[in-house]
A = this chain, B = another copy of it.
């Protein structure tokens, strides 16, 4: 950590900062230039309270040098983490397709879609039983009844199943029914929820928030891992920008950078940012090309009559066309889409 002192700093001020640094077991290196006095901190700077030093009136700026998170960092775990969910491996050479409807609506709907996907070779299935909706008047999901259907689909088809959890009170129940738990964009910094999924024994798909920075996203993963659960899969789902043409801006730019910072698998959900089916095949190809370890795609047997996200869900038939095209791009970058 580098501490830049203000112009009118005194020796007393410098001594006070050094004292704070040394109290935490770190070492201070002082460099006095013609215009500024700079104090470098040697040691594990995460022990130091940045905010406390930053609050001093005679301190101009505090610049951290080390990354503040630990468990998510590739520094402490240089190799890729491969998360094995009943034989489906995230973070290895394979790119994993997770497909299924936005919401679980009925047993018939779910089995029709699941069997269609299974026949194409898809191995992981998504469906929400709890729906975060902007309006309280929109469909809020089937709840526990939905969870039971999802489990039944998983058991009968052999697909790995995942679903979203939104409330700390539901975590234990959700973990009982599904193979993977999803945290949505509105809960990326719902810290109590993160802690709760950190205590269960199921892999967690963690989406970024609409305006979380990469650092905040990685810290959210750290919250989960800090409670014991090491199986976190990051999922990029778009960010909010000034552009009105798309619902959100899919932030593919950060994928290679995130993969450099962390050892965790990173997948992409291109559907929610697009908001419409049309650009999704292009965005899915780009996601694979940019290095994603998996995709999350919405497929519905009857999109027009779906209870949510009607415009961005694919029919199984249209999905299959895209799926086959995506496999070619995966091969072109030396990987395999499963």
Contacts and interface: CB of A to CB of B under 8 A. Distances in A.
Interface string A64-85: 0110110000010000000000
Interface stretch (A86-94, A121-129, A151-159, A164-172): A164-172
Contact of A282 (B239, B285, B291): B291
Nearest to A66: B35
B222 A136 contact: yes
Nearest to A198: B136
Contacts of A308: 51
A210 to B, nearest CB: 5
A255 to B, nearest CB: 7
A135 B68 contact: yes
A310 B31 contact: no
B283 A260 contact: no
Interface string A238-269: 11111111101111111111001000000000
A66 B37 CA distance: 11
A310 B54 CA distance: 8
A253 B249 contact: yes
Given A33-B42, A332-B332, A283 B254 contact: no
25 contacts: A2-B63, A31-B42, A33-B42, A35-B66, A38-B40, A46-B137, A134-B189, A136-B219, A137-B226, A166-B192, A167-B192, A187-B190, A190-B190, A209-B211, A214-B245, A238-B253, A245-B257, A248-B253, A252-B253, A252-B286, A282-B290, A282-B291, A283-B290, A286-B289, A289-B290
